[in-house]
Amino acid sequence: MPESTKNRNLIFTSESLPVFMFNKRYIILFLCSFILLLTSCRKTIETINQNTLQKFFEENILNKTFVVELAKDTSLDKTSTYSGYEFILTKGSFYTGGPMTGVKNGITYTGNWSTDAEYTKLDILLNYPTIPADFIFINRVWKFTKKSLPIMELAPWGTTDPKVLHMRRL
């Protein structure tokens, strides 16, 4: 077999081998850079999301007055029970908890609220010194089902219990 035919049958010649290896290095470098970029962006996105959620919560929920627009305990409509009450979640020392009040006819009920780092749940506990039995419905851990303010839509956290609480910001 002639020498020229032999060289054509080979995949790599000795002269093309360094070029081939050089091209492989570019591909590996590109893949490593791409993976590094993807992993570093995730942390930035998480930080931006956390700051955005915190800012949204502070500007739209904390230190604002809310009234109960809908309160359903299974099939029982309890909305009228909370007529005249105004609720305020006050900013505490951190964004994930603080004092809360419920006021009606000059009587103030105090307690606390807390949330998780993702602002997906809201734990309400009004406890001044004794509270009306109707507050038992409100005193629980809620999950946000919708934050399309001026209305916060809440449902019980971790259960399919058909309770609903909608609070409208004044």
- Say if pTM beats, i.e. exceeds, 0.85: no
Total length of the chain: 170
Q: What is the pLDDT of residues 92-111, one digit of tens each?
A: 876 678 999 999 888 899 99
User: Quick one: 137 and 152 in the same domain?
Assistant: yes
Share of the chain above pLDDT 90, in %: 32
Query: Radius of gyration over alpha carbons of the chain, in Å?
Result: 30
Domain holding 73, by residue range, is: 61-169
CATH number for 157: 2.40.128.270
**Rounded Cα gap, residues 151 and 70, in angstroms:** 10
User: What are 87's strand-pairing partners?
Assistant: 66, 102
Number of domains in the chain: 2
Do 26 and 73 reside in the same domain of the chain? no
Alpha helices for the chain (secondary structure H): 3-9, 17-60, 135-138
pLDDT higher than 60, residue 5? no
Query: Are residue 26 and residue 36 in the same domain, yes or no?
Result: yes
Same domain, 71 and 136: yes
Query: Is 109 found in the same domain as 66?
Result: yes
Q: How confident is the model at residue 143 (pLDDT cuts 50, 70, 90)?
A: very high
Between 50 and 132, the higher pLDDT residue: 132
* Rounded CA separation 166/170 (Å): 13
- Chain-wide mean pLDDT for the chain? 79
Verify that 52 and 80 share a domain, yes or no.
no
